[in-house]
Amino acid sequence: MHIIYYIIILYPYYIPTYYTYRYRLILYAYYIIILYNTHLLYTLYILLLPIIVNN
């Protein structure tokens, strides 16, 4: 579980700079949801959702 929190902490730093400001706000909203979330599968789904939507 410590690895998951390590990924959560580093996640905002991997957001590319070419995303629009509104899209970055959406990603940070997901980041806040992840911070208050403890369920592993739901956390992984939230992490993968921006990638799925982007493709």
- 7-35 per-position pLDDT tens digit: 655 565 565 666 566 676 777 777 777 76
- 8 A C-beta contact, residue 47 and residue 14: no
Inter-residue contact 31 to 8 (CB < 8 Å): yes
Domain count for the chain, please give it: 1
Residue 24 structural domain: 2-54
For residue 28, the model assigns a pLDDT of: 73
pTM of the model: 0.32
**HEC string for the chain:** CHHHHHHHHHHHHHCCCCCCHHHHHHHHHHHHHHHCCCCHHHHHHHHHHHHHHHC
Taking only the tens place, the pLDDT of each residue in 31-40 is 777 766 656 6
pLDDT band at 5; cut points 50, 70, 90? low
> Mean pLDDT, the chain, as a whole number?
65
